Amino acid sequence: MTYKDVEEFLKSLGHTTMVVQWGDHHVYKIGGKVFAVVGGSGEAEPGLTFKAGETSFAILTKQKGIIQAPYMARNQWVKLERLPALKDSELKAYLERSYHLIASGLTKKMRISLGFEEAPKPKAKMKKKKA
């Protein structure tokens, strides 16, 4: 995958927004929360940062070309220094997992508005009996 392919994949995930922050980093969000960052274009290898689960974080950070994300490692974020550090199918799976990890932390109201949960059905009103 190229960085362009990665960005197209990230954009294809439902309700994703992309903003340019921290200089020229492409920051991908769901419900206003970051789930992936593609490093600035001024870098030779932009890098790709995303949220990993606890087990995935331990596994990924032992692989060559993948490091603990600066400033975010305590929250189990990793940084791919080069895209070939993972196979395309693995990378897509990890990015999708990051998306869902962040989405699961959104408020219930936000998850419902984004279609992750079903809206509660209104309660039927009971008629009062006359005495």
pLDDT at 37: 95
CATH of domain 3-113: 3.90.1150.30
Compute the Cα dihedral for 42, 98, 34, 75 and give only its sign: negative
Which residue blocks in 78-122 are alpha helix, DSSP H? 88-104, 108-113
Model's pTM, two decimal places? Answer: 0.83
pLDDT at 83: 86
pLDDT at 71: 85
Q: Which helix (H) or strand (E) holds 25?
A: strand 25-30
pLDDT at 113: 85
Nearest Cα neighbor of 50 from 31, 30, 28, 25 is 28
pLDDT at 39: 84
Low-confidence ranges of the chain (pLDDT < 50): none
Distance CA(30)–CA(106), nearest Å, equals: 9
Residue with tokens 């309660």: 123
Look up residue 33 and give its amino acid.
K
Distance CA(86)–CA(71), nearest Å, equals: 22
